[in-house]
Amino acid sequence: MSVQPIVLRPDQHEPALNVIGTQVTVLASNAATQSYGITLQQGAEGTGPPPHSHDWDEAFYVLKGEIHFLCDGKNYACTVGTFVHVPGGTVHGFRYGSGGGQMLEITGVGALAAQMFTAIDKEISPGPPDVPKLLDVLKRNGVTVTV
């Protein structure tokens, strides 16, 4: 099967997925492009994933607000226009700063991010998450949480 061009206008976006406080709009999954994946992510102040790792490369581009990244043990305050590249296997996480934020996320070949975000939206109820269930969804999708 050959890859077809994708042109996705704003009115054609699927509804955003609720991924534990972050609204994730899948713009293109790795399966659709047969290469990279890209999502638009937006979160309220203080939300974001805990430190974790996975086998695929991931990059972020900050569009709004300030987002505090942890990458390989170092903390970074990232403002609009900041690009963050996270090689596969690197422990990383982030928190949206004052007033929340928005960014693009780009995943490398073989990523399961879109699949994982969809599973979290379907399987984890809004509100305080069922942590054991959440950890199971993450593990099934190649993500290891670091405590």
Cα torsion 104, 105, 109, 111: sign: negative
| pLDDT in the model for residue 1 | 60
Q: What is the pLDDT of residues 90-131, one digit of tens each?
A: 999 999 999 999 999 999 999 999 999 999 999 998 888 899
The answer to whether 26 and 117 are in contact (CB under 8 A) is yes
**What is d(CA 29, CA 82) in angstroms, rounded to the nearest whole number?**
23
Q: Which residues contact 73 (CB under 8 A, 6 or more apart)?
A: 91
pTM score, whole prediction? 0.93
Q: Which residues contact 62 (CB under 8 A, 6 or more apart)?
A: 78, 79, 80, 81, 82, 83, 84, 101, 102, 103
In 3D, which of 74, 86, 102, 99 has the Cα closest to residue 16? 102
Q: pLDDT band for 2, please (50, 70, 90 cuts).
A: confident
Q: Which fold has domain 13-145?
A: Jelly Rolls (2.60.120)
Q: What is the pLDDT of residues 21-68, one digit of tens each?
A: 899 999 999 988 999 999 999 999 999 999 999 999 999 999 999 999
| pLDDT in the model for residue 128 | 85
pLDDT of 89 > 80? The answer is yes
| Burial (Cβ within 10 Å: 0-12, 13-18, ≥19) of residue 14 | exposed
pLDDT of 147 > 80? The answer is no
